[in-house]
Amino acid sequence: MSFFRALGAEFQKLLTTRMWWLLAILLAAYVAFMAGGLGALFSWLGANPDAAAESGSAPLPADVELAPLLYSFASSIGYVFPLLLGALAVTSEFRHKTLTPTFLAEPHRTVVLSAKLVSQLVAGAVLGAIGYAVSVGSAATALAGFGLETGLDSSDTWALIGRGILAMALWGGIGVGLGVLVTNQVAAVVIVIAFTQFLEPILRFAASLNDVTATVGRYLPGAASDALVGASFYTVAAFGGTETLDWWQGGLVLLGIALVTTAIGAATTWRRDVS
Amino acid sequence: MADGIPIEITGLSKHFGAVTAVDDLSFTVEPGRVTGFLGPNGAGKTTTLRVLLGLVRASSGTATFGGTPYHALPRPLETVGAALDANFHPGRTARNHLRVYATAAGLPSARVPVVLEQVGLAEFAERRVGGYSLGMRQRLALAYTLLGDPGVFVLDEPINGLDPEGIRWIRVFLQTLAREGRTVLVSSHLLSEVQQSVDEVVIISRGRLVKRGTLASLELDSAPRTIVDSPDRTALATALDSAGLEYDAGRSGFIVDEPDPGRVGHAAFVGGVELSALHRLKSGLEESFLSLVGEAPDESPGDASNGSPGDDPAEAPAAAPPVDEAPAGEEDAR
């Protein structure tokens, strides 16, 4: 009972500030640019192989299916947005010292944190739905415009979209875990940006150079996320050939990271004196 | 409305590392009156209140509402209304701020416009709190305490930042709550700020209880004195000396250790000195308060965060209060 009250309060907190739609707009713009723009470029290359050869651009390998690759931009580049939103949901309570009214209204702190985790899983799924609506919408338009296969009549495509939305949801949960471990808002944002944009891509690349490290590299969160979704420009662009986890293993890795980080935070920073 | 429940603090201590913020503190706060919780900045007031509200863990001792700690209250916001630092998410409107916590506490959202009206913020309900003045934030913090219509109010420095009209308003507000039989505990580092609102005082210094009683009992502790001034201060000093009166020199005259202005006037008359001022120093409350919290504090453990050092009454030397401002109690210069 008190959990559902806390959950309702967390959704209200989320919806009564501007952060969620700011991030939703950025996500939509970024995904539309990448999925739509690259969709148009690759479609044009695919449709005009001669012109492409003249301009020196190599077309994609023939065995790569273009549609799932483009659609998965929603999560393969968009996962930073639910991650940020989840982290901010926790750190803003510390930053604005709103933990005081929060814990006065609901003194059971674990209830509050559980509600935050669940609310951010839902928020991540909503961002995922927005991201996939944009990536499918823009990329399918580009593909169809050049008379290429959109894959929208295939159940595999829709399963990919579903797994992508699940991945985005789990990233929201990881954001909560990160936020409660690193309660300083600026530090949390810097970590999110640095890890997702620089550190993880470098680690994934470095890990792929060697068979042993490649096994470990599969468990990096971004790699696990791409495994869950089942397609990513990463696997094509740079690290082709590396074995990925099964989709459900990738999902479990993400879920595990979200739960473990949140649980550690619940036992440490979340229990501290609020002053 | 919920019944007033006594607040019971028993043997409470809180250490932050090597610093003792609260040291074996015990007192109770009864319903039906306004109790002032006083002490200089860093005396441990905020820490005590945060322990009472379950936000800070006590090192030892207990702080309860009629025997029940805050976290064990079945419906906390309907039992206790608490306003600590006025902290809000700046991007949220006042109405949404209150709606969030009404939801969390299972209170009907219809309470929100009611309490906003009660604190006079109804017309600013849709404005983001980031644009609020300090006084408006204080009122919004009070609106939060009213959400559950509780029987106990715990307010930390609620008068800080209010304009004169706001101060008058909160006096009536606090007294009304107490008359309705609720328990009202109000902290302040300035006695003059709350002396017209409170019936009882709990005074702490360096985490320890130094005085517990009615406001009137505090007044009795301090001997009234007389202020006298003359265009010819040298002659006045001579006259006071020859009458055997003790005095301190101040900017607006001499403060004489003599409760009866008549005797001081007589001494001047005998010495043939013209007087430009002669009156009783009406309230010795602030002096009494300062001497209780006393000894110039070198260090201030605990809640040193609120207020600037400049307005810390404990920094004024207790033995020689300034003549002009603080002791002129009834005037409430602040």
Domains of chain B: 7-219 (3.40.50.300), 225-281 (3.30.70.100)
Q: Is A66's pLDDT higher than 90?
A: no
Mean pLDDT, chain B, integer: 85
Q: Between vectors from CA A74 to CA A72 and to CA A78, what angle results, nearest 5°?
A: 125
pLDDT band with cut points at 50, 70 and 90 for residue A274: very high
Calpha distance B188→B287 (Å, rounded): 16
Distance from CA of B88 to the nearest CA of A (A): 6
Percent of chain B with pLDDT over 70: 85
Q: Which residue has the tokens 């690290």?
A: A239
Spatial distance between the Cα atoms of B330 and B334, rounded to a whole number of angstroms: 11
Reading the block at residue B109, the tokens are 């959202």
Mean pLDDT to the nearest integer, B217-240: 83
Q: Considering only B76-85, B183-192, B325-334, which range has the smallest mean pLDDT?
A: B325-334
Question: B122 φ, ψ to 5°?
Answer: -55, -40
Q: Residue A275: which of B56, B71, B100 has the nearest Cβ?
A: B56
Q: Band the pLDDT of A235: cuts 50, 70, 90.
A: low
Smallest CA–CA distance from B71 into chain A, residue:
A107
What is the token pair recorded at B182? 């609720």
What is the pLDDT confidence band of residue A5, given thresholds at 50, 70 and 90?
A: very high
Reported as a single tens digit per residue, the pLDDT across A243-267 is 788 999 999 999 999 999 999 999 9
Q: Which residues pair with B256 in a beta bridge?
A: B226, B247
| 3-state SS assignment for residue A208 | helix
For the segment B270-274, the average pLDDT, to the nearest whole number, is 91
Query: Which positions in chain B touch A6 (Cβ < 8 Å)?
Result: 104
Question: What average pLDDT does this structure show over A56-75?
Answer: 75
Residue A57 — very low, low, confident or very high, per pLDDT cuts 50/70/90?
low
State how far residue A16 is from chain B, nearest Cα, in angstroms.
6
Give me the percent of chain B exceeding a pLDDT of 90: 61
pTM of the model: 0.83
In this prediction, residue B260 has a pLDDT band, given cuts at 50, 70 and 90, of confident
Task: Enumerate chain A positions whose Cβ falls within 8 A of a Cβ in B.
Answer: 1-2, 5-6, 8-9, 12-13, 16-19, 92, 96-98, 100-108, 273-275
Which residue of chain A is at minimal alpha-carbon distance from B103?
Answer: A9
| ipTM of predicted complex | 0.90
The CA distance from B78 to the nearest CA of chain A, in Å, is 9
**Each residue of A100-159: pLDDT tens digit?**
999 999 999 999 999 999 999 999 999 999 999 999 999 999 999 888 888 888 899 999
From A6's Cα to the closest Cα of chain B, the distance in A is 5
> pLDDT tens for residues B314-327?
333 333 333 333 33
pLDDT of residue A98: 95
Of residues B215, B205, B153, B188, the one with CA closest to residue B5: B153
Q: What is the mean pLDDT of residues B229-258?
A: 87
CA dist., res. B67 & res. A74, Å (int) = 55
Torsional sign, CA A15, A21, A27, A31:
positive
How confident is the model over A150-195, as pLDDT tens digits? Answer: 888 889 999 999 999 999 999 999 999 999 999 999 999 999 999 9
Q: Categorize the per-residue pLDDT at B4 as very low, low, confident or very high, splitting at 50, 70 and 90.
A: confident
Residue B105 has a CB neighbour count (10 Å cut-off) of 22
Quickly state the pLDDT bin for B330 (edges 50, 70, 90).
very low
* Rounded-to-integer distance, Cα B128 and Cα B309, Å: 31
Cα distance between residue A219 and residue B22, in whole Å: 49
Give me the phi and psi of B3, to 5 degrees please. Answer: -70, 150
As given in the structure block, the two tokens for residue A127 are 């961002």
Indicate yes or no: CB of B77 within 8 angstroms of CB of A273.
Answer: no
| Residue of chain A nearest B303, judged by CA positions | A275
Place of tokens 């210094």: B205
HEC per residue, B167-206: HHHHHHHHHHHHHCCCEEEEEECCHHHHCCCCCEEEEEEC
Mean of pLDDT values over B173-198: 92
Residue B128 DSSP label? B
Q: Are the beta carbons of A104 and A261 closer than 8 angstroms? A: no
On the question of pLDDT at B301 being above 50, the answer is: no
